[in-house]
Structure 1
Amino acid sequence: MDKKIIFLDLDGTLTNDEKKVTPLTQKALLEMQKAGHIVVLASGRPTPGILPVAKAVELEKFGGYIMAFNGGKIINAKTNEVVFEQVLDRKYISPLLKYAKENDIGLITYDDKRIIVGTRMDKYIETESFINKIPVYETDMEEYVTYNPNKLLMTAPPEIATKHEQILAGKYKNQLSISRSADYFIEIMPKGIDKAASIEVLINKLKIRKENTIACGDGYNDISMVEYAGIGVAMENAVDEVKQVADYVTDSNNEDGIAKVVEKFVF
């Protein structure tokens, strides 16, 4: 049997609009793992925000993987071993915090248990807290964050987020990887880190051929992995840019699109 490996974005892809894995999709992923294939949850979320979904699809039992922070950290769910990690130099906090405050937009990062807020709160930061089910901590980010974080996240209204993404991507094009995961989230990552790059790291470690990879997503930060994978899948609810690079468009996240992918391309 050729072992298949499926990489699943969470929000808007694996989980429905209520942020839950539906029974049909859960059943398909459990059957896939029982058959010896591998499931990887590939999300911009921090690790604590992915763990409840990992539990729902029993990654710990079957030895699946958690790819957090847009691929900045990969963990074996069974052993808790960190198989890959690349962090952001904390020197970027000061200038990015200054930029966020000057433009009245949000900037957050994470520790092991909380979202660290360096600016004023906004509804998008509240959304990030709700999605991940982890609390926020408003503090002096420059003073508090004495470590190199996995990522920084800027929050801005959709009507101006694109502008700020482009400005920052131009300013830091040789230093950082910057993309949007939602209309209002600007992901700031170490240079060279995206979901596709981390897929390549993991499949090389596991000695799985690229043609046996499936990647499913809906958002801007999924474009690289959908384009890279042997089979790239866009959800029906995906942004057009994801659909344009996909090999296949499945049903929406509310219509068990992932279950249909497993049935079509794994079984």
Structure 2
Amino acid sequence: MAYEILVLDIDGTLTNSKKEITKQTEDAIMAIQERGHIVVLASGRPTPGIVPLAKKLRLSEYNGYILSYNGAKIINCKSGEVIYQKVLPKDIIPQLHAAALKHSVGIISYENDCVITDMEIDEYMDKEARLNGIAIRKIENFSTYITFDVNKCLMTGHGHVLEKIEPEMKKEFGHLLNIYRSEPFFLEIMPHNIDKAHSLSKLLEHLGLSKEQMISCGDGFNDLSMIQYAGMGVAMSNAQEIVKESADYITLSNDEDGVAHVIEKFILNV
């Protein structure tokens, strides 16, 4: 079966170590879009952190999609339509804030084009803001301020601290939320049952395509579900070991145009 849809994680996959899309990778993506293939950028980043890359790849001209917040939101780049969305229960926000205070770690969420927190800004919050090209805004009280829908919260702190907190958070909130670390210093707090594979299944249903027609490329723990789910699951050579073990194919690294290699091998030259 021919592959019709290409799903790309961003950091460590689409972009190189300088957080750039190389010319070779960009040209390969443009070539398959010209042929009518659908490209999806699927990332843990908030939507504003993905939009500049979507614009660079001209996804709005070729009916591409953004899957942000690890799958909690899917947007059609051409129409701006939200295809699928799931948000955190509002009554859980004060409990998450209390847990962050208890464990002496940071907690952030997102509003429009900003990272928001009421805590002292740590290096990991700053990293998240810089990675996504958005500002950090201090608010008065995290628990009472968030009265609007949010797709995720993120706890920040030293890796050895979050490693200990993760099982405690899962024990307390696992029946209501999806909790996992995307990086040693980031503890993702997502709506229940949300991951990239779950959301991609909703997109495929919307498009009338099957998972056998999809290639998914990634490198991190949060890419594992979509790599296992796709007809062709691809791990970058720089991927976590468990991701490589679960993949159907291991491509070159993100610094060696691994995405372009996949496109040429499995889409352009078949």
For each residue in 1:91-149, what CA deviation from the matched residue of structure 2 results, as whole angstroms up to 9, or x when unmatched? 11111111111211110000111101132211010000000000001112122211121
Q: Tell whether the 8 Å contact from 1:176 to 1:190 is kept in structure 2 after alignment.
A: yes
Hey, what's the Cα distance between the residues in 2 that align with 1:151 and 1:59? 24
Q: 1:174 to 1:144 in 2, by over 3 A?
A: same
For each residue in 1:236-263, what CA deviation from the matched residue of structure 2 results, as whole angstroms up to 9, or x when unmatched? 1111111111111111111111000111
Aligned residues, how many?
A: 267
Hey, what's the Cα distance between the residues in 1 that align with 2:212 and 2:130? 36
- Aligned-partner SS, 2:116: strand
Hey, what's the Cα distance between the residues in 1 that align with 2:13 and 2:3? 22
Hey, what's the Cα distance between the residues in 1 that align with 2:112 and 2:8? 23
Query: Where do residues 1-267 of structure 1 align in structure 2 (5 Å cutoff)?
Result: 2=2, 4-139=4-139, 140-267=141-268
Normalised by the length of structure 2, the TM-score is 0.96
Range with greater deviation from structure 2 (163-172 or 255-264): 163-172
- Aligned-partner SS, 2:149: coil
Consecutive aligned runs of 4 or more in structure 1 exceeding 6 Å deviation: none
Q: Tell whether the 8 Å contact from 1:100 to 1:119 is kept in structure 2 after alignment.
A: no
Range with greater deviation from structure 2 (122-131 or 139-148): 139-148
- Amino acid aligned to 2:149: N
- Aligned-pair CA distance for 1:3: 5.4
- Aligned-partner SS, 2:108: strand
- Aligned-partner SS, 2:215: strand
- Aligned-pair CA distance for 1:48: 0.4
Calculate the aligned-residue CA RMSD, in Å. Answer: 1.2
Hey, what's the Cα distance between the residues in 2 that align with 1:160 and 1:216? 30
Hey, what's the Cα distance between the residues in 2 that align with 1:147 and 1:247? 40
List alignment gaps of at least 5 residues for structure 1.
Answer: none
- Amino acid aligned to 2:136: V
Aligned residues: percent identity? 45
- Aligned-pair CA distance for 1:170: 2.0
Hey, what's the Cα distance between the residues in 1 that align with 2:223 and 2:165? 19
Hey, what's the Cα distance between the residues in 1 that align with 2:174 and 2:115? 26
Hey, what's the Cα distance between the residues in 2 that align with 1:57 and 1:126? 26
List alignment gaps of at least 5 residues for structure 2.
Answer: none
- Aligned-partner SS, 2:60: helix
- Aligned-pair CA distance for 1:2: 4.2
- Amino acid aligned to 2:248: D
